[in-house]
Amino acid sequence: MDRIAILNELKKLLAPYTEKKEMLANIHEDTDLVKDLKINSANLVDIIIEAESKYKIEIDFDMASKMYTVGNCIDVISAKFNQPG
């Protein structure tokens, strides 16, 4: 799965949790989930759980702690999704 596909899916996954819905149309890899999209830390956990379910991956605590920008999220999902099973 390529970065663009993950980004498009990530927009859908983030939509219910962001207070700044208008920002979703223009998110990019440097978009900060907390600062730019106003997603609270409790919802970050929900987003990680949803990503795990959607992509059938496991995201450990160390990887989850790196998921603070859209680009970091794509990196983690891509790395886990493309791991040999």
> Is 6:77 a contact under the CB 8 Å cutoff?
yes
> Is 70:10 a contact under the CB 8 Å cutoff?
yes
Average pLDDT of the chain?
91
Residue 81 has what pLDDT?
A: 75
Quote the tokens at residue 47.
């987003």
CATH number at residue 72: 1.10.1200.10
Which residues span the domain enclosing 66?
3-81
Percentage of residues in the chain having pLDDT higher than 90:
79
Query: Within 10 Å of residue 67's Cβ, how many Cβ atoms?
Result: 20
pLDDT in tens, 20-54: 788 888 999 999 999 999 999 899 999 999 999 99
Please determine, for residue 69, whether its predicted confidence score (pLDDT) is greater than 80. Answer: yes
Please determine, for residue 85, whether its predicted confidence score (pLDDT) is greater than 60. Answer: no
Number of domains the chain is built from: 1
